[in-house]
Amino acid sequence: MISESFERLPTASILVRIRQAPLSNDGLRVLNLRDVPRKEWASRGIWVPRPIYAAKAYNTSYYQVKDSEKELFSVRQGKEDPPLRETAQLLLNAEGINKEMV
């Protein structure tokens, strides 16, 4: 189980974009950041910029935000995020984390 010390925002959502992985020229292996010069990442499909929200690329019709949730968002935005190192350590020490995947 994830540590009780993590702050919870019950209205949070997550967007997952699933794409086909870019392949080498021979089509036998998946490319990664080290295989392609940074200036070619976008053209080769290694790193694809996220769609601009205003372009209406996201379907949020199933996500209805209540006024009380909007207030929680405002409060959370005013808080400082913990350092990444601290958060990673909390996750690594949490129960239910598959250490083989890290």
The pLDDT profile of the chain, 102 residues, written as one tens digit per residue, is 455 555 666 666 677 788 899 999 999 999 999 999 999 999 999 988 888 877 878 777 777 777 887 887 788 788 887 788 888 888 777 766 665 555
pTM attached to this predicted model:
0.42
State the pLDDT at residue 30. Answer: 94
Q: Smallest Cα–Cα separation from 30: which of 39, 20, 40, 41?
A: 20
d(CA 12, CA 77): 12
So where are the chain's domains? 33-101
d(CA 60, CA 65): 10
State the pLDDT at residue 61. Answer: 78
Q: Are 58 and 15 in contact (CB under 8 A)?
A: yes
d(CA 101, CA 43): 29
State the pLDDT at residue 23. Answer: 94
Identity of the residue numbered 16: V
Give φ, ψ of 23 to 5 degrees: -110, 160
